[in-house]
Structure 1
């Protein structure tokens, strides 16, 4: 799409951006989704899903606002058009920093409660772009279909960028009987048919966050599966309304329609995790990025480096929100001079500063891939994500403790406005320099971030999304090269072995 203006002095650059209305219209495409046992005619038929759609739509509209333009858009050097920064592939330190601004923007826009906002899936595609040289050496190991993986990766990046695309990514398979490897394998996406123009796949994916609210789904079986049978080694992307795709939504946990005062965060809706059925779904040849090659699956870790950078940056932004909320509690309760309370806020500050340091260090130690893409340091990202999940529950508890009874005894806007009892609340619950309602709004914000149903779901997601701590420690063992450290010890101690 191109913006045109009849006034030559006011001509705007050509762009490839959608408005919020255009994004919402793109979701009315016949996609199949079930919630609570009922099939929805449209994704916006469900209030919680509709609220989340509205929040995402506002991100599209923000692209046209001067105050958000730098964070959300950039000029594509190839076309000269203005495009979404979600689809930027960094090649310089400056571009890496600029791309982070988009992550910080979406994190603040959602208060960090969307683990997979619209700019997350493009990070996976950027990872494929970063390592596409490795895919030049690979070819389909499934007879009947021979895609060009590198050509497809590059074409999909262009497709996403040129269409301001919102995609979901689903990597995990369904939870099954872990004691039976065959049971786990049964849930893998598998190629059922291969032909010259594409493949037909069946199976299921889970934790398809934002899938119901996106245009495409980007999928694979979770990486590192070097023993996976060839028919289960597949990466691809298709529109979410492709025949054969059925989404079963988890229970909604937000508070759509609630007064913004009562639920400042939960009223904005949520990303909706989906159990996604692939029932003989056709994947076109030009949307396949790996087919039948187990060694291609082992590139999951390197390819996901930008996604892990996204996760860590979002957690850092949310940690800074915790610090801001904690400081406001000290201010409105007048507890800022109490040493024990200062130390509790210090814990929140330590957490936020440490996560931010990991983000900065990962960027400072970024390396260039053979394809000319600058990628954050993976070991710093892994260590940062490990630190985050080890400390997240403690940080939540500390912020709750700073609030005291304020989180236990919360009152909604209707109670304050009730003529019979509201004046008691106003008179008896004021804060230091603020009204009772102002103090209550702060407590309601912290409730949504730490204690309500949405907060519980987010806390669970953070742990699962980052991988369990033992797995991350195992990754650090593999990622961090220790030979230089050993040599230093030998030099200092005078060891000659």
Structure 2
């Protein structure tokens, strides 16, 4: 294990614009009200061509913020408190599991419990819930024995950043993906690629852009990193750092909303929760103090994205495994609602969804059970199981969605809005004509509204696209599995059997 670096003393003023965790009982936690207040910080957001003055009051963003707010409230709920928080043995105070550096399997299981709660909250449609954002920083601690060779102060800076995030219960987002541009150009010729345009004694000045940035508009901070491949990356683009959402010179250009006007919880049980906002993040000479620049011009850091991403990849795959359990429950409820369990083909389709859930969940259980500490002492799930799980998840996800659609039949096409159902001249007829096997007509209608939001609507399509890109395309995952999976025991067994030296 590498020796710990000296603590870098850094001010939290840069990433915390105002006190956000001021609860007297749990000073490291904040409730939903405090979370919302932390977002009123003068950040620059453009949605549908207009400046958003207050993200907590803009309808599309506000519903997603309300959903995230309930996550923060759940930290104080006795039924979920122990799933979302841990007690710091040094201070005796609770803090969010999002900022828990795992040094044991017990710590990994604490993260698992948190992922299960956040997945249940939105059925996994929020790919960047509050429990995700610190993953890159934790990975920097895990692989400090590699990073520290080129960035001797990196560990101290990261530990300070984790401490700031933990004490303020911050919501962090990923700032990873480079903007899409002419791929014929060399990396240094891409004008939009984020880069350092000025090196100052007290920090760096950045210009350029990043894509994706899911939940950054609804979060507090983001961690800038480099996506693969980075082999030909110019030195001025080799940067890992933290940035607050309200940094001067930073603007977020959001995509069009997908759940706008879908406030009715009966007609849209999931879309009514809002959505994560994605967009292009534009840097116009944005200054980052040295204490929040974790790595710069370090070719080691620039070329180990898949290694640094291991903890994040596990969280992604674990969330998908819990989503898969929801899919299996949905498949069975469709059968129960329609009374189609006597049809062999239907049972086979449900079994396919169950298989997806069981295999994926089994991979994630095995990943934790076979976890090992890195040379820097951080416990990480088995990378081979995680990579195979991610590959299995995204390859089968479209088929599972289509299976749920096919099981539903016309139930997805003939959904009736609540306003129509409540008309006195049609309600009785609908109640009489459309009953389910184990549910009333109205309950069946609401249920298929949920399946629509899960599998068919614009938001569902965004989530499906996000899962595919978020988990890395299948060919790249196969390459990573080929590179990382240890086949030595199998090879040696064959050599021994054949007497090959």
Task: Give TM-score scaled by structure 2 length.
Answer: 0.93
Q: Name the stretch that deviates more: 285-294 or 219-228.
A: 219-228
Does the CA contact (< 8 Å) of 1:47 and 1:257 recur in 2? Answer: no
For 2:354, the equivalent position in structure 1 comes to 349
- Measured after TM superposition, the shift of residue 257 of structure 1 is 4.8
Any runs of at least 4 consecutive aligned residues in structure 1 with deviations exceeding 3 A, and if so which?
1-4, 182-185
For 2:477, the equivalent position in structure 1 comes to 472
Number of residue-to-residue matches in the alignment: 481
2:121 is matched with which residue: 71, 95, 109?
109
Residue 25 (str. 1) matches residue 29 (str. 2)? no
- Report the secondary structure of 2:138's partner residue: helix
CA distance, structure 1, for counterparts of residue 369 and residue 500 of structure 2: 34
Runs of 5+ unmatched residues, structure 2: 1-20
1:332-371 correspondence to structure 2 within 5 Å: 332-371=337-376
Could you give the per-residue CA deviations for residues 328-378 of structure 1, whole angstroms, max 9, x where no partner exists?
A: 111111111211110000000000011101101111111111221110111
For 1:131, the equivalent position in structure 2 comes to 143
- Measured after TM superposition, the shift of residue 76 of structure 1 is 1.1
CA distance, structure 1, for counterparts of residue 388 and residue 145 of structure 2: 27
1:48 is matched with which residue: 32, 37, 60?
60
1:280-359 correspondence to structure 2 within 5 Å: 280-359=285-364
Does the CA contact (< 8 Å) of 1:191 and 1:202 recur in 2? Answer: yes
For 2:157, the equivalent position in structure 1 comes to 152
Q: Name the stretch that deviates more: 203-212 or 179-188.
A: 179-188
2:202 is matched with which residue: 190, 194, 197?
197
- Report the secondary structure of 1:461's partner residue: helix
- Measured after TM superposition, the shift of residue 136 of structure 1 is 2.3
CA distance, structure 2, for counterparts of residue 113 and residue 475 of structure 1: 26
- Measured after TM superposition, the shift of residue 63 of structure 1 is 0.5
Could you give the per-residue CA deviations for residues 21-46 of structure 1, whole angstroms, max 9, x where no partner exists?
A: 01101101110011111111111342
For 1:395, the equivalent position in structure 2 comes to 400
- Measured after TM superposition, the shift of residue 179 of structure 1 is 2.5
Q: Name the stretch that deviates more: 270-279 or 297-306.
A: 297-306
Q: Name the stretch that deviates more: 111-120 or 250-259.
A: 250-259
Change (3 A) 1:3 1:460: closer
For 1:7, the equivalent position in structure 2 comes to none
- Report the secondary structure of 2:56's partner residue: helix
Residue 495 (str. 1) matches residue 499 (str. 2)? yes
Change (3 A) 1:68 1:300: same
Could you give the per-residue CA deviations for residues 125-181 of structure 1, whole angstroms, max 9, x where no partner exists?
A: 111111123222213xxxxxxx82111011011111111010111111001112333
Does the CA contact (< 8 Å) of 1:256 and 1:268 recur in 2? Answer: no
Residue 228 (str. 1) matches residue 228 (str. 2)? no
Give the CA RMSD over aligned residues: 1.5
CA distance, structure 2, for counterparts of residue 472 and residue 31 of structure 1: 36
Does the CA contact (< 8 Å) of 2:187 and 2:234 recur in 1? Answer: no
1:460 is matched with which residue: 465, 469, 475?
465
Task: Give TM-score scaled by structure 1 length.
Answer: 0.94
CA distance, structure 2, for counterparts of residue 234 and residue 22 of structure 1: 31
2:424 is matched with which residue: 419, 431, 438?
419
For 2:455, the equivalent position in structure 1 comes to 450
CA distance, structure 1, for counterparts of residue 155 and residue 123 of structure 2: 36
- Report the secondary structure of 1:121's partner residue: coil
Residue 80 (str. 1) matches residue 92 (str. 2)? yes
CA distance, structure 2, for counterparts of residue 307 and residue 339 of structure 1: 40
Q: Name the stretch that deviates more: 299-308 or 373-382.
A: 299-308
For 1:382, the equivalent position in structure 2 comes to 387
